[in-house]
């Protein structure tokens, strides 16, 4: 599942709770699952109204909003691996002394210094967020960029694609439309990512596929389905068991 535009459009309070209300529906910002108001959802012997069910869904599917966010690519969070590890331990409610022993670094005062550094990062983020919000009111020429899919294995300039560029690339490689076949498979990284993203839409979320089924789907799109299959895995659109017995859409 990609980090959607709905996710980026959510305000801070909505991001913290992990869902938004859209008319009669509550939509999970983390995976897109929806619960309809007025419907009762039974889970583990308990009946949930829609909004309470969304809380249940987030806890049982994503563990928590924090765990989902901390699991995003560092290009999205701006966190180093060290900061990521510290935040996880802070979230678990561990003391500075416990964290120092677990990580084997410095002393308890070292951990306090890291806390201070993260607090500074929070202040900077607030200032930057305010500036960007103000900028939106003035910058009339800012292009709309395509969101990066959550399971991207490496985020770099290849993902610097505007919506206008994306549409042109799709039109170029899918002459019969996005659901049709391609006549050539580009090795240009930016084009390759767009093409793979469209091809990945042929697979259903939460469904397990046999390799034969994957091949049959991809062969309709492009004759060299083995190469396409390999790239879908390499770029984080599909995953599989080590023995190749099952494939599934990531997200």
Q: Residue 49 burial (CB < 10 Å; 0-12/13-18/19+)?
A: middle
Query: Does residue 38 sit in the same domain as residue 11?
Result: yes
Residue 1, pLDDT above cutoff 70 = no
Query: Does residue 77 sit in the same domain as residue 52?
Result: no
Q: Residue 54 burial (CB < 10 Å; 0-12/13-18/19+)?
A: buried
- 186-234: pLDDT as tens digits: 889 999 999 999 999 999 988 999 999 999 999 999 999 999 999 999 9
More confident residue, 66 or 152: 66
Q: Which residues pair with 26 in a beta bridge?
A: 21, 35
Reading the block at residue 111, the tokens are 């951990």
Task: Note whether 227 and 235 are within 8 A (CB).
Answer: no
pLDDT band, very low/low/confident/very high, at 170 (cuts 50, 70, 90): very high
Mean pLDDT, residues 30-41: 93
Inside any domain, residue 181: yes
Reading the block at residue 156, the tokens are 């770099």
Inside any domain, residue 109: yes
pLDDT band, very low/low/confident/very high, at 9 (cuts 50, 70, 90): confident
Of the three residues 105, 136, 167, the one that is the final residue of a domain is 136
Cα separation, 174 vs 169, in Å, equals 8
Of the three residues 101, 136, 171, the one that is the final residue of a domain is 136
Mean pLDDT, residues 139-165: 80
Mean pLDDT, residues 50-70: 96
| Structural domain for 42, as ranges | 5-69
Inside any domain, residue 149: no
Q: Residue 202 burial (CB < 10 Å; 0-12/13-18/19+)?
A: middle
Task: Note whether 40 and 52 are within 8 A (CB).
Answer: no
Query: Does residue 207 sit in the same domain as residue 243?
Result: yes
Inside any domain, residue 216: yes
- 160-169: pLDDT as tens digits: 889 999 999 9
Query: Does residue 186 sit in the same domain as residue 201?
Result: yes
Query: Does residue 42 sit in the same domain as residue 103?
Result: no
Number of domains the chain is built from: 3
Q: What is the pTM of this model?
A: 0.62
Query: Does residue 81 sit in the same domain as residue 129?
Result: yes
Residue 251, pLDDT above cutoff 70 = no
- Mean pLDDT, the chain, rounded, equals 91
- 74-96: pLDDT as tens digits: 888 889 999 999 999 999 999 99
The three-state secondary structure class of 160 is coil
Residue 240, pLDDT above cutoff 70 = yes
Query: Does residue 210 sit in the same domain as residue 240?
Result: yes
Residue 178, pLDDT above cutoff 80 = yes
């Amino acid at each position: 599942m990609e980090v959607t535009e709905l996710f980026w459009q959510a305000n801070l309070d909505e991001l913290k709770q992990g869902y938004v209300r859209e008319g009669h529906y509550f939509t999970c910002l983390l995976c897109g699952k929806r619960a309809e108001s007025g419907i009762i959802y039974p889970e583990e012997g308990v009946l949930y109204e829609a909004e309470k069910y969304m809380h249940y869904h987030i806890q049982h599917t994503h563990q928590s909003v924090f765990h989902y966010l901390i699991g995003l690519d560092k290009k999205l969070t701006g966190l180093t691996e060290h900061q990521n590890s510290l935040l996880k331990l802070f979230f678990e409610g561990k003391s500075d002394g416990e964290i120092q022993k677990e990580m084997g670094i410095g002393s308890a005062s070292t951990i306090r210094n890291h806390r201070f550094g993260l607090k500074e990062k929070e202040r900077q983020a607030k200032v930057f967020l305010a500036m960007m919000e103000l900028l939106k009111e003035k910058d009339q020429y800012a292009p709309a960029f395509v969101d990066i899919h959550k399971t991207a294995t490496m985020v770099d300039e290849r993902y610097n694609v505007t919506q206008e560029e994306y549409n042109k690339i799709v039109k170029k490689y899918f002459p019969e439309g996005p659901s049709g076949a391609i006549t050539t498979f580009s090795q240009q990284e930016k084009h390759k990512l767009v093409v793979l993203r469209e091809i990945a839409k042929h697979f259903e979320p939460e469904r397990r596929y046999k390799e034969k089924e994957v091949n049959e789907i991809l062969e309709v799109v492009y004759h060299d389905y083995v190469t396409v299959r390999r790239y879908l895995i390499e770029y984080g659109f599909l995953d599989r068991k080590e023995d190749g017995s099952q494939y599934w859409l990531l997200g």
